[in-house]
Structures are given as structure tokens and as C-alpha cells.
Amino acid sequence: TDLPRSPPAAAEPRHASPAAPRRLREQLRMAGPLRQVRGGEGRAEPATGAAPARDTRAPLRFDYERFRRSLRHPVRGGRPGEDPETRARRMKIREMMKFAWDNYKQYALGKNELRPLTKNGHIGNMFGGLRGATVIDALDTLYIMELEEEFQEAKKWVEKSFDLNVNGEASLFEVNIRYIGGLLATYYLTGEEVFKSKALELGEKLLPAFNTPTGIPRGVINLGRQDTRFLFSPFSGMSWSWGWASAGSSILAEFGTLHLEFLHLSELSGNPVFAEKASTSHLVLNKVEKPQGLYPNFLSPVTGNWVQHHVSIGGLGDSFYEYLIKSWLMSDKKDLEAKKMYDDALEAIEKHLVKKSAGGLTYIAEWRGGILDHKMGHLACFSGGMIALGAEHSGAERRQRHMDLAAEITNTCHESYARSDTKLGPEAFRFDAGSEAMATRLSERYYILRPEVVESYLYLWRLTHNPKYRQWGWEVVTALEKHCRVEAGFSGIRDVYTTTPTHDNMQQSFFLAETLKYLYLLFCEDDVLSLDDWVFNTEAHPLPVNHTNFKAAVQQ
């Protein structure tokens, strides 16, 4: 999701651990590191609840070599016999990545993003004093594209300059998906300890956000040192709800987008606390009544009840659904609870939100207390890929229905690009007042280098091999080159409906993490970062599927 920023609301006291997390902690203690927390065939514990012998063993030491041997496909590299055009297109995208990185390095290294028009850096206020968002977001893309020199530059910055000793209000969600996700992915890809230790250290700093009556975290966390002997800041480790979120609520797409990274933090540290914290939300969400089976976007971390009935598969809701299906996939299909939550949620979405326009375009509307808003955000366009990924693992009837739905939504998102003058899509498009897949409000005409549409192209390509997805991806490359490439990097544009757009002077870090990575992979063979071995977090950082090797490692 992408959220407006505003100063945190009044500080609230930290709360004692509630009952539900205590129960989880007990389950995890018995299950051992990265065993599935919830029910399903992966649970080996006897019904008696007797703790298995390995309960008392020393903390896990993650066996990286064993993990690498468990991968079913090589991580990167070209393959013999591929056609020259595909290779040339991939190399073009690699060149774009180098250009984006080189300019960031030259003008903004250590800042969070590059401002390509003014040739300086942007810090912003999303990351609580952390710096180098673009470095961390770019690391795995540089590695996968075999930009070795550039990868070494980024790594050097992490080793020498990435400072976690900061004191400021950060978005738990953004720090998790960009920093923790980027560091974890790079560790798994390279085995370099520095990425693992930084991820774990940062993960620890996020834990106080979960100190609420329900265990559902608040959205904003102060990253200051929590050791009171140092009196570093009176707000250190405290958390807040976003000032703009109604009645101190937490956001579905924020507290629901932690599982993938937090399970891996537990895996690598041997400490179940991360998995425990992230898993609490499923317990709470399974208890609360859902209007027509739908999940509203705002939930109180105090009562565990919904605060408002706004439902969206775009901003504020999006990656919650994504992490349900991906949690199941990452668990090697053992987290049956997450799979059921996903299946039920998608069924409700199909029933209440999926609509067809007069012109025959399928879209997913938003829902406000029972009233439909016939609008799709650019963010919602990730859902084509997600639904295709889920369809792949369904029974025959559902599989076909969901593959069709995924293809139709992806087609609609492509239309939102095709109907603009720049061939890039607007931030939101509507299906009302005679409008079809076009922005109707001036404030929704911008494009900020977002990845969701090419993300869906990648999944649809991998799952169908219909050449139109590569063709559509190439159209995006051409449009980016024409309208977003400036002298010193890539910039978002303020209006996709003019061929002489004004630039917004921002090279978003997710352009390097996601947009360019997904485009590159679209022109790779399927076994480069194979979906058999990896799941992409919502910032496109690949995290490994837990094949049986992890279990074997903890049993040694």
C-alpha cells in the first residue's frame, strides 16, 4: 500500500503482552524455529501437546550452504539458445538499472531517493532517520542483473555507512518491506553475513510496535534506542497510529504485510518472537466478523474491531491479500490457515467487488459501507499477478475461472496504459460517467514509476507464456525511456495524458527494487529466480520458499 504521511497522533502507553500472543509463543516454543505457527499438515506435534525432544536444543544456526543446495534452480544467468531479441531487451533493461543506480550514486548516495532534475538527494520522513532506501532496495536487483561493480558499491555502503543507530518515527510497513525485505533477500542470494545481521538488528527495533492490547501493531514506530540506561529519547521504542487513520486504527495492508519477512527473521535468528508477532494478526482477523466476508481496511489495535467499512484491493488493503497466498506458498503449502483466508477473501471479492464495464473491461471496485466506488488504483493492478499465482494452485474449475479473472484484470490495467498519450498508466482510473479505464480527476493523472502493472505481466507471462505480456512489458520500457528518462536518472510524471509531461523530480526506490526487476525477469528464462524456489515480497525482494531443508536444519 502507499500511505499519506502526517505526524503521529498523541503517544499512547505501551501495553503488556496480551493473551493471544502468549498462546502463540507457547505454540512456537513447541514448534521450533520457522515451523508453521498455525494448524495444517506441517504441524508434527502430537495432539497431547507434549513438547518434542528438540524443544530444549540450542538456538538454531542457519546453515546457508545447505539452503543453497536445496534450491531447485540456479538463481541467475542467461541460458543457452535463447533468441537474440529477448536477450537484447533484457540487456536494455539492465542498462536502465545501471543508469538509475549510477545517477543515484553520483548525486544522492546515502539519501533515500534521487531527485533527478535537481540532481540531489531526498530523505523524506517514512524511514525514521534510516538512510539509503535506494541502496537497500537496489541491492538484489543489481545482484540478479550481474551488475557486479555496482553491487559491490552498494554493499560497501551497507558495510561502512548504513547506520541503524537512528532516532525518528518510521513506518513499520515501509521499513519492513524495503529494508528488512531487501536485506533478507540479499543475504539469501549472496550468503554475506552483513545483510543478515543488519536485518536482524533492524527487526529487533520494530518489535515494540506490537505492544498493543491485541498484538496488532501500530503503524508508526520510533526507532530510537530502547535501552533506558542511555535515555536516548523519551519516545524510543514507542509506537503510534497514523494521525490520519480514523480513531487510532491500524491499516490492514500494514499489519497484514509482515509475515514473509518476519518468518525469515525467526528462521535466521532462531528466535520465534518475530513469527509470533506477525502471526497474531491472523488470529485476530479470524475472530472478528467480516462484513459479507470482506476485510475492511481499518482495525483498532486496542479492541480488535473494524473502525470503518472501506474495502479495497488497492491502497490500504492490497498486500494483505498478497501475503496470505504468499505465506502459504512460502511455507511450502503448509500454512493452510493463510490459504483458507485467501480463498475466502477472494471469493467475497469475486462476489461483491468484481465488475464488468459497459465496454467489457473487468475491474475490481472499492466498497464503502456497502456502496461501490467504481475505481481502480494503479496499486490494485498487482492483483492480476496475485490471482494468477493463486489460480495455479487451485482445483481445475477454480483454476480456470481465476486464470481468466487474472488475465482480464491484467488486460484492464494494460488498457489504462494503452489509453493514455504516454502509454503509462494513471494513479487511478474509473468506470463511471462514461469513463473506461481512464483517470477522470486531475489529481489522479500522475505516474510515479510504479511496478504493479509490470508485476502482473511477469506472473501472467510465467504462468501462460502468452507473448503479449512480453510485448506489453516492452511497451512500458519504451514509454519509460521516452517520458521518464531525464539527464540524471528516471523521474515520475505529473500527467500521463500529455506527451510533454512535467516531471515530479523523484526516482522512487521501488523503481529499482520492483519495476526494473520485474521487467528484467520478464525477459529472462523462468528458472531465473524461479517461482518454485522464491516468493517475492511486496517490494519484489525474493525470499526463499521453505522447502524441507529448513526443517532438517533445525532437527540436526
> d(Cα 20, Cα 32) in Å, to the nearest integer?
18
Q: Which amino acid does the sequence have at 426? A: P
Query: Cβ 253 to ligand DMJ, closest distance in Å?
Result: 7
**Residue 38 or 450 having the CB closest to ligand DMJ:** 450
> d(Cα 378, Cα 453) in Å, to the nearest integer?
7
Task: Considering the candidates 174, 408, 436, 495, report the single residue annotated as catalytic.
Answer: 174
Is 186 assigned a ligand-binding role in the annotation?
A: no
Based on the residue annotation, tell me whether 267 is a catalytic residue of this protein: no
Task: Considering the candidates 2, 150, 452, 455, report the single residue annotated as catalytic.
Answer: 452
Q: Are 283 and 39 in contact (CB under 8 A)?
A: no
Q: Are 538 and 322 in contact (CB under 8 A)?
A: yes
Residue 393's CB is within 10 A of a number of other CB atoms, namely 14
Which chain residues interact with ligand DMJ by CB under 6 A?
1-2, 319, 379, 450-451, 510, 514, 538-539
C-alpha closest to that of 364 among 398, 420, 405: 405
**Residue 337 or 539 having the CB closest to ligand DMJ:** 539
Based on the residue annotation, tell me whether 337 is a catalytic residue of this protein: no
Query: Cβ 378 to ligand DMJ, closest distance in Å?
Result: 7
Residue in this structure with the C-alpha cell 520494530, named with its chain if needed: 206
> d(Cα 292, Cα 307) in Å, to the nearest integer?
16
**Residue 543 or 554 having the CB closest to ligand DMJ:** 543
Based on the residue annotation, tell me whether 392 is a catalytic residue of this protein: no
Residue-wise DSSP of 127-141: BTT---HHHHHHHHH
Query: Cβ 261 to ligand DMJ, closest distance in Å?
Result: 12
**Residue 322 or 436 having the CB closest to ligand DMJ:** 322
Based on the residue annotation, tell me whether 427 is a catalytic residue of this protein: yes
**Residue 261 or 514 having the CB closest to ligand DMJ:** 514
> d(Cα 243, Cα 349) in Å, to the nearest integer?
29
Count how many Cα atoms sit within 13 Å of the Cα of residue 245 in the half-sphere of its side chain.
Answer: 29
C-alpha closest to that of 275 among 315, 356, 331, 329: 331
Query: Cβ 531 to ligand DMJ, closest distance in Å?
Result: 18
**Residue 271 or 456 having the CB closest to ligand DMJ:** 456
Query: Cβ 362 to ligand DMJ, closest distance in Å?
Result: 22
Q: Are 522 and 547 in contact (CB under 8 A)?
A: no
Q: What is the largest CA-CA distance in the chain?
A: 69
> d(Cα 151, Cα 430) in Å, to the nearest integer?
41
Chain position whose Cβ is nearest to ligand DMJ: 538
Task: Considering the candidates 113, 150, 261, 427, report the single residue annotated as catalytic.
Answer: 427
Query: Cβ 1 to ligand DMJ, closest distance in Å?
Result: 6
Annotated binding site for Ca(2+): 538
Residue numbers annotated as active site: 174, 318, 427, 452
Annotated binding site: 538
